[in-house]
Amino acid sequence: MPDPTAVDSASPPGGAPRSGSARSLAPDLARGLMLLVIATVHAHLFRFAADGSSSFTLDGPLDTAVTAAMALFAENRGYPMFAALFGYGLTWIYLRRAAEGREWPWVRRLLRRRGRWMVAIGLAHTVLIFFGDIIAVYGLIALLFTAALRFTDRRLLTHAFAWMAVGSLVYAFVNTAVFSAFAEQGAAAGPATPLTDLVGRVVSWAVLGPLLVAISVFPFMIGVWAARRRLLEEPDRHRSLLRRIAAFGITAAVLGGIPQALINIEVWNAPAAAEPWVFWLHLLAGYFGGFGYAALTALVAGRLGERRGPIVTALAATGRRSMTCYLLQSVAWAVLMPTYALGVMGSLSDAQAVGVGVAVWLATVVVADLLRRAGDRQGPAEWVLRRLTYGRT
Q: Would you state the pLDDT for residue 189?
A: 58
pLDDT digits (tens, 9 = 90+) for 223-259: 999 999 999 989 999 999 999 999 999 999 999 999 9
The DSSP symbol for 148 reads G
Residues, the chain, total? Answer: 393
For CA atoms 361, 87, 171, 291, give the dihedral sign.
positive
360: nearest Cα among 339, 331, 324: 331
pLDDT above 70 covers what percent of the chain?
A: 91
- Stretch 313-338: mean pLDDT, rounded? 95
pLDDT exceeds cutoff 80 at 385: yes
Contacts 24+ apart (CB under 8 A), 101-108: 102/13, 104/150, 108/146
Q: Would you state the pLDDT for residue 23?
A: 75
- Stretch 75-101: mean pLDDT, rounded? 93
pLDDT exceeds cutoff 50 at 298: yes
pLDDT exceeds cutoff 60 at 17: no
CA angle 187, 190, 194 (to 5 degrees): 120
Does this model's pTM top 0.75? My answer is yes
Q: Give me Rg for the CA atoms of the chain.
A: 20
Q: Would you state the pLDDT for residue 283?
A: 96
pLDDT above 90 covers what percent of the chain?
A: 74
Q: Would you state the pLDDT for residue 190?
A: 63
Cβ neighbours for 28, distance < 8 A, ≥ 6 positions apart: 6, 20, 315, 316, 317, 318, 319, 320
pLDDT classification of 7: cutoffs 50, 70, 90: very low
Q: Would you state the pLDDT for residue 200?
A: 87
pLDDT exceeds cutoff 50 at 13: no
Cα–Cα separations (whole angstroms), residue 285 to 25, 117, 153, 178, 335: 26, 32, 23, 21, 33
pLDDT classification of 53: cutoffs 50, 70, 90: low
pLDDT digits (tens, 9 = 90+) for 115-133: 999 999 999 999 999 888 9
Pick the more confident residue, 146 or 376. Answer: 146
pLDDT digits (tens, 9 = 90+) for 170-221: 999 998 888 777 666 655 556 778 898 899 899 889 888 999 999 999 999 9
Mean pLDDT of the chain: 89
Asked if 172 and 275 touch (Cβ cutoff 8 Å), the reply is no
pLDDT exceeds cutoff 70 at 332: yes
- Stretch 324-332: mean pLDDT, rounded? 96
- Stretch 7-18: mean pLDDT, rounded? 41
Alpha carbon distance 137, 125 (integer Å): 12
pLDDT exceeds cutoff 80 at 96: yes
pLDDT exceeds cutoff 80 at 48: no
- Stretch 13-41: mean pLDDT, rounded? 77
Q: For the packed helices 61-73 and 350-373, what is the interaxial angle rounded to 10 degrees?
A: 50
pLDDT exceeds cutoff 80 at 156: yes
pLDDT classification of 12: cutoffs 50, 70, 90: very low
pLDDT exceeds cutoff 80 at 103: yes
User: Which of 14-28, 193-207, 323-337, 362-376 shows the lowest mean pLDDT across its residues?
Assistant: 14-28
Q: Would you state the pLDDT for residue 390?
A: 87
Q: Which residues of 97-117 are buried (b: 16+ CB within 10 A; e: fewer)?
A: beeeeeeeeebbebbebbbbb
Q: Would you state the pLDDT for residue 9?
A: 40
pLDDT exceeds cutoff 50 at 11: no
